[in-house]
Structure formats: structure tokens, C-alpha cells
Amino acid sequence: MSTNGAARGNYILEVEDLYVGYYRDLNILQGVHMYAEKGKITTILGANGVGKSTLLKAIFGFLRPNAGDIRLNGKSILDTPTHKRITLGLAYIPQHMSIFRWMSVEENILLGGWTFRHDKERLRRKLEENFERFPILREKRKQPVGELSGGQQRMVELARTLMTDPEVILVDEPTAGLAKLLKREVYQMLRDLRDNEGKTIVLVDQEIRHALRIADYVYILDLGRNKTEGPVEEIVADLKKAFWI
């Protein structure tokens, strides 16, 4: 699989030769690359602890890379502080539920529009859009989010993320800890985002079956390094090779 710049025009998010670690000299990611194509779902797979979540954290700026580059639309975003990255069209849904649990559903979703909080009209419109997308949230708009079920909390998170109309959404194990029925629903939501709204999604997951079903391009990491990658058909065709089972 070639990763040279032949088709670079289509790549909206590019991660090159990334070294990241929690301590200065202990890198969890050692020279990882990842290219996400516009309007596609790029899935990153791998066993526990190979650094998949670390990769997303680094892309969103919670960890500062020791070396390497991260580019969004061709421009390096390494020097953009974490809280500013959302204004670049990047959004992040962490693995652990990242909701404000003592605030109401409506406040949670509105906070997603923090960056354009002075634009009342746009806020109202986006809030309405979200309530249309997730009607159940409209019913519970005044309820503290902490009282909702896990799936609904994920919905709130997603709705909050969509407030800013991000181009690229980084999603970290969206179904961890959810019931089986809900899982399908969450993946359907992601698929809809790609198909109907043309979002670029980078999905990190353990649920290989589901993840492969909605993926367009797959990267497989092993102990902080790229192992295999390819369009989803190739990977599915030769799962054995991909996972070295």
C-alpha cells in the first residue's frame, strides 16, 4: 500500500511519522502515520494498548507529540492549543463519556456551540437541527444528563459535537460499555453522518465486526507502529494476514 503523496489532494487529515508519549523519552506511538480521506470513515484497529486512543488524543492536542506532524487541510495544527482545534473543524468524542453530568441536556448541547456563542440565530438553528436528529433529546431537554441512559448520553455527546459542523470527527470507541442493541444504533448514526452530511470520521474501535462494516479504509496498529493498512475490502478479504491470527 503506497502512502506517498499521489492522492494527497483528497486527504483532509494527515498524520506523519508521529512520536507520542506520556513521558519525554517513552514513546507510545513510534512513527505512526495515518491519512483520512474526505467524506470517508477511516478506522483504526488494534489490540488493547497499542496506542489507538493515544493517536486520537495526540491529534486533538491532549498530548503533545515529541516528533512528527499533524496536518489538517494541509496546514500543521501542532501549535494550535487544544481548545482552539474545534475552530479548525476538528471534533473529538473521547472514549469515556465526556458530558457535563450536572447540567441539562439543552445546556450540554448548547455548550457545543461555545465557539459561536454570540451568534444567537445560528445557535438556535443548530439546536433545532440536533433536536430533529435526536427527537428523544427534545423530550428530555431540561433533565440533567447524568440521569440519562448510556446510549442517550452518547447521543448528547454526538449532538454537542455536531453543533459546530466539524469536517473531521475523531471517535474513540463509541460503543464501549453500551448494550448490544444500542451499538448498532450508534454505528448507524456514524454511517448516516458520512452518507448524509459528508463528514470525515476517524474511528478507533475494538468492535472489529461493526467497525469494518462501516469503514472505508482501515489502519491496523501494533505496539505503537503501523502494521497493515488498506481499503476495507482488502482487509476483510484477508483478515488472517491483517491480524496475523
Interface with another protein (CB under 8 A), residue from 10, 115, 149, 188? 115
Interface with another protein (CB under 8 A), residue from 12, 55, 86, 232? 86
Question: How far is residue 33's CA from residue 52's CA, in Å, rounded to a whole number?
Answer: 12
Residue 134 near another protein by CB under 8 A: no
Q: How far is the CB of 92 from another protein (least distance, A)?
A: 5
Query: Can you list the pairs that 217-220 forms with residues at least 24 positions away whose Cβ atoms lie under 8 Å?
Result: 217/36, 217/37, 217/40, 217/41, 217/42, 217/43, 218/42, 218/43, 218/44, 218/45, 218/242, 219/34, 219/42, 219/43, 219/44, 219/45, 220/44, 220/45, 220/46
Residue 119 near another protein by CB under 8 A: no
Q: How far is the CB of 108 from another protein (least distance, A)?
A: 9
Question: How far is residue 210's CA from residue 88's CA, in Å, rounded to a whole number?
Answer: 29
Interface with another protein (CB under 8 A), residue from 2, 4, 6, 24? 24
Distant-in-sequence, close-in-space partners of 15: CB < 8 Å, separation ≥ 6: 32, 33, 34, 35, 55, 59, 68, 69, 70, 71
Site string for another protein, 142-161 (x = CB under 8 A): ------------------xx
Interface with another protein (CB under 8 A), residue from 20, 110, 148, 190? 110
Q: How far is the CB of 170 from another protein (least distance, A)?
A: 10
Q: Are 113 and 126 in contact (CB under 8 A)?
A: yes
Residue 99 near another protein by CB under 8 A: yes
Q: How far is the CB of 153 from another protein (least distance, A)?
A: 11
Residue 180 burial (CB count, 10 A)? 7
Q: How far is the CB of 161 from another protein (least distance, A)?
A: 8
Per DSSP, the chain holds a count of helices (H) and strands (E) of 9, 10
Site string for another protein, 174-213 (x = CB under 8 A): ----------------------------------------
Which stretches within 134-179 are classed as H helix? Answer: 135-139, 150-162
Q: How far is the CB of 94 from another protein (least distance, A)?
A: 6
Q: For another protein, which is the closer residue by CB, 57 or 210?
A: 57
Binding residues for another protein, rule: CB under 8 A, are 23-26, 60, 62, 81-84, 86-87, 91-94, 98-103, 107, 110-112, 114-115, 117, 160-161, 164
